[in-house]
Each structure stands twice: as C-alpha cells, then as structure tokens.
Amino acid sequence: MKNARLAILSALTLVMLASAAAQQASKHVLGSDELKKAVPAEYFFRGQKAPVQVRNAVGFQLADGKMMLAALVDASGYSTAIQQKYQGMLITETKLNIGGSELMPGQYGFGFAADGKFVVMDVANNDSLSVSSQTDSALQHAVPLKLAEDGVGYKLYAGKKWVSIKAE
C-alpha cells in the first residue's frame, strides 16, 4: 500500500514538473496568434496615432518572457519629411544591440532610409540610433517585414534590406 502511494505521488510530481516546464517561456520568434495579442492596433508617434499593419508585424520572445515587437504603420497622415524615415513602430522590453549600436527598452519609430541607413527614433521623432543596413540580393521572396533567426540574434528584413538585432 505504501509503495503504491509513493508511486502515485512520484507520478503526480513528475506530471506537475513537466507541466510547469512546458508553461515557461522559451526564446522564439512570435507566431501570428501571439502577434495579434501583443501588437497594438494604433501607435502614437510625433503627435499622431497611426494604424498598425498587424499583418506586417514581427517579434520575438526571450526565455524570461520579455518581447521585442516591430510592425509597419500607415504613415500617410505625416509630413513628407517624417514619412521618408518613419515606416514602423518598434517596442522592446529588453536592451537591444542593433547593427552594433545599443538601444534601451522603450517605444520607437523606425525606418530603412534611402541612404542605406536603418534609423530608430524616439516618439518625438528624434533620432535614437542610425546604423548601416545590409542588402540581401539573393533573397528571392522579399516581404514587407520579416524576422529571421540568425545564430544568437535575428535579422530584421524590410524587403531585401536588413539589420542584425541581438537581445542583451
């Protein structure tokens, strides 16, 4: 009788431990259902709200549950000067290394500029960082926005242009 109780208790403990381990967050690129839950419908930038294109949203989650989200926005209501560099929103809960430059947690606008730079701006449209973007001319199926795992980090693509992103 004692052995049966011990076996049942051990089995229950193993099931509970396995269940707890399965519920812990793991580092991964977010799927479309996760993005729909996390990405805002509108994004405030430089005094206006812009609709967010959830269909053109990407992100990742770290093992500790912190996320990075990026999505294209409809910037048609902004001045031409802002539209030239503001293409999307970027929200990060962790410090990032983007193309060798550090970006602190926060909410930002971003864009791939015509001069080959990836620019990140605070919500007042002040440049927070500017790094050179790369071009992947071998990429056959370019999409508006894509996030691909790349070793310990990620590549954020807009069409064939990309920058490296690593969580720190």
pTM listed for this prediction = 0.84
pLDDT for the residue 8: 55
Give the mean pLDDT of 19-23: 44
Q: What is the DSSP string of 52-111?
A: EEEEEEEEEE-TTS-EEEEEEE--TTS-HHHHTT--EEEEESS-EEETTEEE-SEEEEEE
DSSP type of residue 31: P
Q: What is the total residue count of the chain?
A: 168
Among residues 107, 117, 121, the alpha carbon closest in space to that of 162 is found at 117
2 pLDDT tier (thresholds 50, 70, 90): low
Structure tokens at 14: 């193993």
Checking if the pLDDT of 97 tops 70, the result is yes
Contact present, 72 and 144 (Cβ < 8 Å): yes
Read off the pLDDT of residues 30-89 as tens digits, 9 standing for 90 and up: 999 999 999 999 999 999 999 999 999 999 999 999 999 999 999 999 999 898 899 999
pLDDT for the residue 18: 43
